[in-house]
Structure 1
Amino acid sequence: MRVGITGHRGLPEGVAKAVVVAIGDVVRGYPAADLVGVSCIADGPDAWFAQAVLERGGRVEVVVPAREYRESLPGWHHATYDALLRAASRVHETGLVASDPVAHMRGSEMLVGLVDELVAVWDGLPARGYGGTADVVAHAGRVGVPVRVVWPEGATR
């Protein structure tokens, strides 16, 4: 089973803790031997999902939206990003250079094209900018990839 992740970054601490638990619950629902998690490994849900897949005994494939992507992520996340990238069984690149909303959406479209199901850490609201979680969920719907929404009841961003 190939499962991708998309989700909101910068979640409040309480929401983040609940999301980590929920992602772990979702990942434990898949047989480890057949599990391939596909992620852009940004800080937040992308990285938490990849870590949960590896802890479960699955494999991780990484989509890199742009050559400058790592530098656009918070400095405190670089060590985690690097470790997850090293642990990847495969890396997919868009070929774009600038880490901007177009590259992020292109990477997400690539990710959706690689998976059987998409896990979305999504509050159900419209995207705050092009390439946001709602845009990725909408793209998955257009191309027929099932979406499993993970959002703690009563949580806000």
Structure 2
Amino acid sequence: MTSLRTGVGVRFGVTGHQILPPEIVDCAKDHWRRVLPAGAQLYGLSNLADGADQLFAAHVLAAGGTLEVILPCEGYGCSLSGADSRARFTELRRAAATVTTMPFPEPSEQAYLAAGQALVDRCDHLFAVWDGRPARGLGGTADIVTYARTRGCPVTVLWVDGVLRV
């Protein structure tokens, strides 16, 4: 499948939980290694939140792919918890081919929802590192999966049965 919008191959997006059990990290990494192309053939989109978003972005770059980042608001990186997460955010953002920032002055549920929807609107296939449960706030993983499905965007859910989210 080729994206008519940009002339690049399939554009893969990600949504997912911010705190991931180790089994889920392994599940997602193994799946991406098996199904995603490497090198210039790989084009990934991420909002760079903690957890699944940063994990996928790092995979795209490590595989030699192109990363597009869509941020929910100005100063989003400062809102991430923990120095390690903020450092990863900064590194991934610098490595991205493009960075788009949604028109929100600060983090909010509306900003998260808008960024997730913009990501879905730009991708051809969405990976959801998701336990299948309802979102804990507007713009959460369940909301983005629902939006993708209503738009006809294929969604692959990556989770291990029996593993509980923290």
Q: What is the TM-score of this pair, normalised by structure 2?
A: 0.88
Q: Matched residues in 2 for 1:60 and 1:92: separation?
A: 12
Q: 1:152: how far off?
A: 1.5
Alignment correspondent of 2:157 = 149
Q: 1:10: how far off?
A: 2.2
Runs of 4+ displaced beyond 4 Å: none
Q: 1:30: how far off?
A: 1.6
Q: Residue 37 of structure 2 is aligned with which of 15, 31, 35?
A: 31
Residues 1:82 and 2:90 are matched in the alignment: yes
Moved more, 28-37 or 141-150: 28-37
| Structure 2 unaligned blocks of 5 or more | 1-9
Q: How many residues align?
A: 153
Q: Matched residues in 1 for 2:28 and 2:43: separation?
A: 14
What are the equivalent positions in structure 2 for 1:4-153 lying under 5 Å apart? Answer: 4-11=13-20, 15=21, 17-28=22-33, 29-32=35-38, 33-76=40-83, 77-153=85-161
Cα RMSD of the aligned pairs, angstroms, is 1.1
Q: What is the TM-score of this pair, normalised by structure 1?
A: 0.92
Q: 1:144: how far off?
A: 0.8
